[in-house]
Amino acid sequence: MTETVLLVGGGGREHAIARALADDCDLYACAKNENPGIVRIASGFESIDETDADAIVEYAESIGADAAIIGPEAGLAAGVSDALDAAGIYAFGPRSEEARIETDKAFQRRFMRENAVPGCPDFETFEDMEAACRYIDEYDGDLAVKPAGLTGGKGVKVIGDQVTAAEAKTYLRESDYDRVVLEERLVGEEFTIQAFVANEEVRTTPAVQDHKRAYEGDEGPNTGGMGSYSDTGFSLPFMDEGDYEAAVAIIEAVVDALPAYKGILYGQFMLTEEGPRVVEFNARFGDPEAMNTLPVLETPFLDVITAARDGNPLPELEFTGEATVCKYAVPDGYPTDPDAGARIDVDEESVGDALLFYASVEDRGDGIYTTTSRAFAVVGLGESIAVAEASAEEGLAAAGDRVRIRHDIGTRDLVERRIDHMDAIRE
């Protein structure tokens, strides 16, 4: 019998999920925006806000969903998994209490400390912004300033990198945050490992490096992610033997302390001279990292979801062994003053061997229009990072005017710069 699966969300991450599922199930989707790539391959689509749990449950029941997967963190925070589970529809995503590992950074750090999860930086949490400012003055070293709640990856300010201590204090005093976390600045190279989790089992995927800065050369403000790359194995070129396994051990320690967790657990790490330290955890696939991971996953994603639902052992994951490079096309002016509502031309025929994933766009019938967020991504695959990067660049011929791209992601120069940086830290 064919499984019916509901996908919640309409971004690039969800387009990657849809593509990974569509051939193996009867796929339906709902989101507040009509992602043209998802709509094209789904059996049905409904315009529903990803945080409207009642409406999502109603739609899931109307299509006879056997399972659901929630893509964006906002839906998890709003209790969509809780509502689906209560209605008897298995949700491959953590319930709101477990999703606090992402949605509440103060909880995340306290959880790590209380459960002796390795890799936790020094930190303190504050509700009084003046007390937080005094902590900045008194702390011996640089700090990362993090709002406790969700900010779409763009609320963090790092002293000694993005801002001065004085600017960080001004940021706190002028913000409307009710809680913040101040934690030691971690120096090294960031990487991400995404894991499938259910029934106290963990299956991990190849490491990915995301690039948050808006402009080439890692300049400019942070974004939701301008692109990312993975290598042919599970590790990355700047990682030493044992670094990947050390990060996986941290993920496993989280799952040991959260035995009811199900769905995706995303660990973002900083590889320091002392080994991997935790930047943050997310309770869902990364965006863009899902677009690196799912295209090279040979094990049917549906098999993971149904095994989780039925209480069976999760399948061992098989991958193609290809490297991947993902590059986002974003509206002109993104992220500070994005050119929203601009009609863009996307020539899908010119993508070649690369993959195109639509993200935050509006299909108005007469064309594709930008929003205030990232528009679409192109992913190249190949026998090396260099081959995958060349494929992504060739595929970017699909991008017309009124969008901007970080062309340096995945290039030899940038990858070698990461290796040299990590070598210098280890010395």
Domain with CATH 3.40.50.20 in the chain: 4-101
Strand order in the sheet with 201-204: 201-204, 189-198, 263-272, 275-282
Q: pLDDT tens for residues 402-420?
A: 999 999 999 999 999 999 9
Residues 351, 341: contact at Cβ < 8 Å? Answer: no
Please state, in angstroms and rounded to a whole number, the distance separating the CA atoms of residues 183 and 231.
Answer: 30
Give the homologous superfamily in CATH for domain 122-184. ATP-grasp fold, A domain (3.30.1490.20)
Please state, in angstroms and rounded to a whole number, the distance separating the CA atoms of residues 14 and 171.
Answer: 33
For the domain with range 189-420, which CATH number is right: 3.30.9.10, 3.40.50.1000, 1.10.1740.10, 3.30.470.20?
3.30.470.20
pTM: 0.94
Q: pLDDT tens for residues 180-215?
A: 999 999 999 999 999 999 999 999 999 999 999 999
Q: What is the mean pLDDT of residues 143-155?
A: 78
> Quick check: helix, strand or coil at residue 399?
strand
Q: pLDDT tens for residues 347-367?
A: 999 999 999 999 999 888 888
Element (H, E) at 270: strand 263-272
For the domain with range 4-101, which CATH number is right: 3.90.700.10, 3.40.50.20, 3.40.50.300, 3.60.21.10?
3.40.50.20
Q: pLDDT tens for residues 212-237?
A: 999 999 999 889 999 999 999 999 99
pLDDT at residue 401, rounded to an integer: 87
Residues 363, 344: contact at Cβ < 8 Å? Answer: no
Domain with CATH 3.30.470.20 in the chain: 189-420
Residues 193, 286: contact at Cβ < 8 Å? Answer: no
Q: pLDDT tens for residues 271-281?
A: 999 999 999 99
Q: How do the residues of the chain divide into helix, strand and coil, expressed in percent and rounded to 5? A: 35, 30, 40
Q: pLDDT tens for residues 244-265?
A: 999 999 999 999 999 999 999 9
HSE at residue 178, side-chain half, CA atoms within 13 A, is 3
Provide the pLDDT confidence category of residue 154 given band limits of 50, 70 and 90: low
From first CA to last CA, the distance across the chain in angstroms is 58
Q: What is the mean pLDDT of residues 297-321?
A: 98
Which DSSP category does 116 fall into? T
Domain with CATH 3.30.1490.20 in the chain: 122-184
